[in-house]
A and B are shown apart, each in its own frame.
Chain A
Amino acid sequence: MRLNLTVNGRPMTADDVWEGESLLYVLRERLGLPGSKNACEQGECGSCTVYLEGVPVCACLVAAGQAQDREVGTVEGLADEDELSPVQRAFVDAGAVQCGFCTPGLLVAADDLINRVPDPSDAEIREALAGNLCRCTGYEKIMEAVREAAAEKTGSSSEGGRR
């Protein structure tokens, strides 16, 4: 089948998609966007987390056809060209990246959190990221990174909100 969807703001088309393929497979193998990762392919590890119509989902659990005419956002779309997004910057600065395989999914999940919740508590951060497994870091530096990104986000939005 032919699949039309919008990824990171750009209309894209994939041809010869087999009906059994996941959105993750299409992104990685047909659209040249391997940033979303394939660690478990059964919705347990969160490393394939992408935005589907603005909502974080495991791309491995979305059938490709379900993404027809939908908006998808991946880790590749987080940065503004040269400028890393706040969560990306914070993950690099805090040392929250080791092997980095979980990072793309965590970034999308963390980006979603700080967009939804202005000043998340530690408990809220842990709950929001509980679906993303990381085997390298022990999560401490991920906590630091998300706190930092949230603080930066709050700081800049309150500045922007000043009258």
Chain B
Amino acid sequence: MSPRSSSTAPTANHAHTRERGAPMSNTHTTPTHRPQHLDEEIAGGVGESPLRPDGSLKVRGDFAYASDLWAENMLWGATLRSPHPSARIRSIDVGPALRMDGVRAVLTAEDVPGRNLYGLKDLDQPVLAEDVVRYRGEAVALVAADHPETARRALDLVEVDYEVLEPVLDAERAAHDDSLPRVHPGGNTVRYQPIVKGDPDAEADVVVSGTYTVGMQDQAFLGPEAGLAVPAEDGGVELYLATQDLHTDRKQTAAALGLDPEQVRMTMSGVGGAFGGREDLSVQVHVCMLALHTGRPVKMVYNREESFFGHVHRHPATMYYEHGATRDGDLVFVRARLYFDGGAYASKTPVVVGNGTTLGVGPYSVPNVRIEGWGMYTNNPPCGAMRGLGAVQPAFAYESQMDRLAEELGMDPVRLRIRNAISRGDSTPSGQVLDYPAPVAELLRRVRELPLPRESTAESTNPDIRDLPGGASNTTHGEGVVRGVGYGVCIKNICYAEGADDFSTARVRLQVVAGEPIAMVHTAAAEVGQGLVTVQQQIARTELGVERVNIHPNDTSVGPAGSSSASRQTYVTGGAVQAACRAVREQVLERVAQRCGDPVERLSLSGGKVVSETSGVLADLAEVLGSEVVEATREYHHRETFPLDEQGHSERAQVQHAFSAHRAVVDVDTELGLVKVVQLDCSQDVGKAVNPDAVVGQIQGGSAQGLGLAVMEEIQVDGGRIRNPSFTDYLIPTILDMPPMNVDVIERGDPNAPYGVRGVGEPPTISSTPAIVAAIRAATGKALEHVPVGPEHIVE
């Protein structure tokens, strides 16, 4: 038996590839040294589309989501939430609730064992409200009971005496009016950031301006927030949950519980979608508090209504834009003021301001820029991460402006975009030079060339009413229906920015089981549906030349992976898995090299064999490994980024940028204001399609969320209160709303990224919205300065 020490993982901080000087063979997708005669290829590597490993479990109904968990002797938790957007808590009486039959605990802020504050960027949010509540829906008290309905009814018996205060509800006003109440002691501005380039007061032949607003969008992931906490014998707690980032949750939860992070052990359960909505804490601390207090397992599951109050939303925005151009259509300047309503707590508001301002002119080269961004505290529902973070709002505005400018110039809108498109070597308004392909013009050309639907449904001789605006409501048979076509293109930064080191960690183990070499990949990176588990398997197959790759459950016994957000996981966790696999491979090959004298550089792993460049197959990998376990842990750090200065300048504020272009075809019933999106096409550069089918799935799904924002999705907030917290009243696209798509994927590899990948998930959510609105404008001639566009905007 070989000593296990030889396989012990080098612990943390074995960072790799921070230096880019090293030769990178990783833009190749196949092992480079495979001899021609070796045809035992391992299927399902990088660049192929193997099926996802959890697919069968999911279709059988056997995949355990967080809300499916169950433990012997389990209690149910429930949360009492503030009915007021702003109020002082005079007193709380838990007595009547505690006396209810079946109730085992009622907890308030006094019972928070550790720090009663948390937050992703700023520590500003209490676990349970202490003396004030800052939004309608803020958690005030917790109940644990034998039955979920008992817990919910006990909430009605908790007596809270509130002194209602005047809420702050207007973010733009909050930015400039110091006489408003302060939502937090430090004032109402979370972040102000200007970006200035060239001469911000430059003048131009043609100037267009507009004021654009974006409504509050919900992630609307289908799996509700849920967790099961089990008290542990060491005084700690085991938490099984659905999240985007185990380690950040653990850090915040341990601090709130007054425990060491090691005493809070988190294991990922099945995640029913996320889209940014699971970055902030929801049930985590609450359910652990109840479990530690009662000494029994406690489960919490939000229902849909509570989910609308229990997670952050996309920031609503008001944006003032002015574009100037020459008569020929060259952009001269962009001036903009962006106001983001962050609601009661900061969450990701600072990042939204950073992304919104740096990306605020879009994927265009502009010599003179002044963009100012404000992220504000108000007593509206808290806003934070959602797919396309901070880039969705300005994209609607700048693309609307580009169309307006094209109209003013009498120029084709796609030509105007291509003329001003940013490309490799150009710099962003913050001064970052794009040192990788930026094929914006190419994407626009390609999306324009994708096939169009043959004819307008309204003009066909026998239209199926289900294909017309209004559908089965039978509101038109074609009369009043006008077709429109519109385009949109966008830019989104990938990974965290402005100096963040959002690294990832992977542990890879290679051993022989039942005569077959098997790799095990262990990370804390959240699989939220995007297919990261498949990608990790593919990378291990490609790097280690083995077919069987198992994915260890995600937990906190391995180093951090960071959040499944910012389109970053294939990049950073992919990079970590690649690095760990290569370290394992190195160890194996060194042993073979010692034995047979071939230098390591000439050896590779392929098809379950050790292969020499010169002498062909040397050995079976299983034979070489014997009973040994070879293991390595590696971190992957993307290249360094730097903060923005007071003028918004930074040599490199962001790691990478991604681009997509959409074309939308719509039919509009101009009499009723009903819209049917007939076709939605997308061209996107993904750098390297690690799993082409999954990439297409991301583009389709992201485009659907952009369609939702374009024509239906808005959380109605009135006086600080959400009016439509249900899927009855908050509409997301159904299969009838989502049209067929032509998806065109190109691969212009980023030399800085593992395998050349470029983040995929977010861009399609961004460029689809302005394309659809442009198409509705083309059909109706209306200005349409707000999304979602409703019938009231079309029929005025």
Asked if A40 and B700 sit within 8 Å, CB to CB, the answer is no
- List, in ascending order, chain B residues with CB within 8 A of A98's CB: 273, 529-531, 697, 701
A143 touches B303 (CB 8 A): no
Task: Encode B199-230 as 1/0 by CB contact (under 8 A) with A.
Answer: 00000000000000000000111111000000
Q: Who on chain A is nearest to B301 by CB?
A: A38
Question: How large, as a class, is the contact surface on chain B?
Answer: 35 or more
Q: Compute how far the CA of A161 lies from the CA of B581 in the bound complex, rounded to whole angstroms.
A: 53
Whether the Cβ atoms of A42 and B726 lie closer than 8 Å is yes
Write out the residue numbers on chain B whose beta carbons fall within 8 Å of the beta carbon of A36.
Answer: 61
Complex CA gap A139/B529 in Å reads: 14
In the complex the two chains form, is A143's CB within 8 Å of B735's CB? yes
Contact B60 A123 (CB under 8 A): no
CB proximity of B428 to chain A, nearest CB, Å = 30
Q: A39-B223, A42-B304, A45-B222 are in contact. Are A138 and B700 (CB under 8 A)?
A: yes
**Which listed segment binds A: B47-55, B401-409, B623-631?**
B47-55
A101 x B65 contact (CB < 8 A): yes
Contact (Cβ within 8 A) A139 B68: no
Q: In the bound complex, what is the Cα–Cα distance between A87 and B61 (angstroms)?
A: 13
Give the contacting residue for A84; candidates B59, B70, B701; CB below 8 A: B59
Question: How long is the Cα–Cα vector from A140 to B701 in the complex, in angstroms?
Answer: 9
Contact A37 B222 (CB under 8 A): yes
- A35, B700: Cβ atoms closer than 8 Å: no
A123 to B65, alpha carbons, bound, how many Å?
32
- In contact, A92 and B529 (Cβ under 8 angstroms): no
Chain A residues in 8 Å Cβ range of B52: 92, 95, 97
Q: A135 near B732 (CB under 8 angstroms)?
A: yes
B300 to chain A, nearest CB (A): 13
Nearest Cβ on chain A to B44's Cβ, whole angstroms:
14
Cα distance A130–B471 when bound, in Å? 12
Residue of A nearest to B57 (CB): A100
Q: Does A136 contact B (CB under 8 A)?
A: yes
Residues from chain A with a CB closer than 8 A to the CB of B696 are: 95
User: What's the least CB distance linking B307 to chain A, in Å?
Assistant: 9
Are B272 and A123 in contact (CB-based, < 8 A)? no
For residue A92, which residues in chain B have a CB less than 8 angstroms away from its CB?
A: 51-52, 55-56, 59
Instruction: Report the bound CA distance from A37 to B303 in whole Å.
Output: 12
B165-173, B513-521, B736-744: which lies at the interface: B736-744
Cα distance, A104 to B222, chains bound together (Å): 12
Chain A contacts for B67, CB-based, 8 A: 34, 37-38
Q: Answer yes or no: B12 CB below 8 A from chain A CBs.
A: no
Interface size on A, residues (CB 8 A): 58
With known contacts A97-B52, A133-B222, A140-B738, A75–B60 Cβ distance under 8 A: yes
Query: Are A76 and B60 CB-contacts (below 8 A) given A39-B222, A102-B222?
Result: yes
Q: Is the CB of B727 within 8 A of A138?
A: no
Evaluate whether A41 and B149 lie within 8 angstroms (CB atoms) in the complex, with A100-B63, A100-B529 already known.
no
B-side contacts of A101, CB under 8 Å: 65, 221-223, 272-273
B528 within 8 A of A: yes
Given that A18-B147, A42-B728, A99-B528 are contacting pairs, would A123 and B467 also be in contact in the complex, using a CB cutoff of 8 Å?
Answer: yes
Residue numbers in B under 8 Å from A42 (CB-CB): 304, 726-728
CA distance A91 to B467 in the complex (A): 25
Task: Point out the residues of chain B lying under 8 angstroms from A75, CB to CB.
Answer: 59-61
- Which residues on the B side are within 8 Å of A88 (C-beta)? 56, 59-60
Tell me the interface secondary structure of chain A in the complex.
loop
In the bound complex, residues from chain B placing their C-beta under 8 Å from that of A69 are none
Residues from chain A with Cβ under 8 Å of B459 in the complex = none
Q: How far is the CB of A97 from chain B (nearest CB, A)?
A: 5
Interface residues of B in 266-321 (CB under 8 A from A): 270-275, 301, 303-304
Tell me, in angstroms, the Cα distance from A138 to B702 when the chains sit together: 7
B703 contacts across to A, CB distance below 8 A? 138
Nearest B residue (CB) for A16: B147
Q: List, in ascending order, chain B residues with CB within 8 A of A84's CB.
A: 56, 59-60
Q: Is the CB of A141 within 8 A of B697?
A: yes
With both chains docked as a complex, state the minimum distance between the C-beta of B277 and any C-beta of chain A, in angstroms: 10
What is the CB-to-nearest-CB distance from B119 to chain A, in angstroms, rounded to a whole number?
A: 26
Taking CB atoms and an 8 Å cut-off, the chain A residues in 4-40 that contact chain B are: 18, 20-21, 28-29, 32-40
Distance of A126 from chain B, by nearest CB (Å): 5
- The answer to whether B131 has its CB under 8 Å from any CB of chain A is no
Residues of A within 8 A of B270 (CB): 100
Question: In whole Å, how far is A75's beta carbon from the nearest beta carbon of chain B?
Answer: 4
Asked if residues A41 and B304 are in contact (CB atoms below 8 Å), the reply is: yes
Smallest beta-carbon distance B219→chain A, Å? 8
Known interface pairs A41-B303, A92-B55, A103-B58; A29-B70 also in contact (CB < 8 Å):
yes
User: Chain B's nearest CB lies how many Å from the CB of A129?
Assistant: 5
- Measured in the bound complex, the distance between the Cα atoms of B694 and A142 in whole Å is 13
Please tell me if the beta carbons of A137 and B697 are within 8 angstroms of each other in the complex: yes
Q: Which residue of B lies closest to A128 (CB)?
A: B735
User: B461 on the interface (CB 8 Å rule)?
Assistant: no
Q: How far is the CA of A136 from the CA of B58 in the complex (A)?
A: 14
Contact of B727 (CB < 8 Å), options: A20, A37, A45: A45
**A interface residues, Cβ below 8 angstroms from B:** 18, 20-21, 28-29, 32-42, 44-45, 47, 74-76, 78-79, 84, 88, 91-93, 95, 97-104, 107, 123, 125-127, 129-143
* Sample of 19 A–B contacts (CB below 8 Å): A18-B149, A38-B303, A39-B304, A40-B726, A40-B727, A92-B56, A93-B51, A98-B701, A99-B223, A99-B529, A103-B59, A126-B735, A132-B734, A133-B222, A133-B727, A135-B222, A136-B697, A138-B733, A140-B741
7 further interface pairs, Cβ-Cβ under 8 Å (given A92-B59, A137-B700): A29-B70, A37-B223, A95-B697, A100-B529, A126-B736, A133-B734, A138-B700
The 10 closest A-B pairs by CB, nearest first: A35-B61, A99-B529, A101-B272, A100-B58, A138-B700, A138-B704, A34-B68, A75-B61, A44-B727, A98-B529
